[in-house]
Amino acid sequence: MIYRPLWVLIFIMALKLSGFSQGVAYLKPNPQLLNTIEKNIKDADGQYKNLAKQLGPTQFPKTYDKVSRKLETSNSGWWCSGFYPGTLLFLYEQNHDPQLLSEANRMLTVLGNEQYNTHTHDLGFMMYCSFGNANRIEPKPEYKQILINSAKSLATRFNPKVGCIRSWDSKPSDFLVIIDNMMNLELLFWATKETGDSSFYKIAVTHANTTMKNHFRPDYSSYHVLNYNPETGAVQQKKTAQGYSDESAWARGQAWGLYGFTVMYRETKDKKYLEQAQHIAHFILTNPNLPKDKIPYWDFNAPDIPTAPRDASAGAIMAAALLELCRYADKKDAIDYFNTAQTILKTLSSSDYRAATGTNGGFILEHSVGNKPQKSEVDVPLTYADYYFVEAIKRYKQFALK
């Protein structure tokens, strides 16, 4: 019999809690929205079957250009490669369509080689959103081994002097860390639970602590990019890459932080992470530039608000995060988080954001923003917008369980 120390048992309990097996009594889903969600799922089934028909054997969808009416794709090494099979698996859980499972399995076969990729920090996105969901739905030894290898590859990017996992490769004197990297830590927690090797857990916690210390401003908005000295760990620069300016609050970055620190609390039960997630939520939800429909502008400080582009992907990530965070908060905050997520889902389910069947290249949502400063993927569908939208739908439905 394998000996499991107390902290491993705590992790197992946390994992069970993360399954969201039933709702919280005072958080009641709207019946009309639940009906709308069922239609969303049915329509998404058709959309993703259409999307699948357009892909070559090794192609992953990125976005769709409405002007040229062309699907843009990537290979398995692109950071978004895990979202397409992950969304297929989420949809399969909801509607049990074997075609979706078959397509997901086909893509997993292509994606598997990325388990040895040590040149990206995005292995959580790539491998846990795909193989993690596949292993959760139907555990297999090969899935488990791929995930363990992926965690090992991710861990190679950790620098103990900095206390972080390197995000982007750069010149030797720089060590770049982006707020997005908080989303890749869940893979490391999973690896510790499965193997009993606490090194993955320690890396995740150290990275989160360093990020909490350095990435956030006094109002709990987040910088996008920090540049550390790899030899001393000192912060050399605080800047942006995809936001409006170095001191602005890039919307998706705030959403990554909200989601990431909510996961940190789930996996450790350390209240400092819950407090951090709630501080981030307060910044977002009380921001005067957050529209009434709760879909943020691409940057909270964009100079052309209210005509600035909205970012459906940031809204979807926020909704998914808030639908977990509300389970850990006190009643007053929980209701606020739940109602905000509900409003986001209602907005994203409307014709303003959810594409009509047979349009949008097969994607579910319209109007996301990838990298506006580089004029890349502005006001387009994106795979991660769909992924977190469907995850939020799944989490919302679970509140209806008694």
Q: Which of 97, 180, 299, 311 is catalytic?
A: 180
Burial 269-282 (b: 16+ CB within 10 A, else e): beeebbebbbbbbe
- Dist CA 264 CA 71 (whole Å): 36
How many other C-beta atoms lie within 10 A of the C-beta of residue 375? 8
Q: Which helix (H) or strand (E) holds 340?
A: helix 331-348
Alpha-carbon distance values, 350 to 10, 89, 294, 390, 400 (Å): 40, 23, 13, 14, 21
Q: What are phi and psi of 377, to 5 degrees?
A: 55, 60
How many other C-beta atoms can be found within 10 angstroms of the C-beta atom of residue 28? Answer: 12
Distance separating alpha carbons of residues 11 and 39, to the nearest angstrom: 36
Alpha carbons 247 and 95: distance in angstroms, whole number? 44
Residues in the chain: 402
Please say if 122 is a catalytic residue: yes
Q: Spot the catalytic one: 97, 122, 299, 311.
A: 122
Chain CA centroid to CA 160, Å: 25
Q: Is 43 a catalytic residue?
A: no
Q: Where in the sequence numbering do the catalytic residues fall?
A: 122, 180
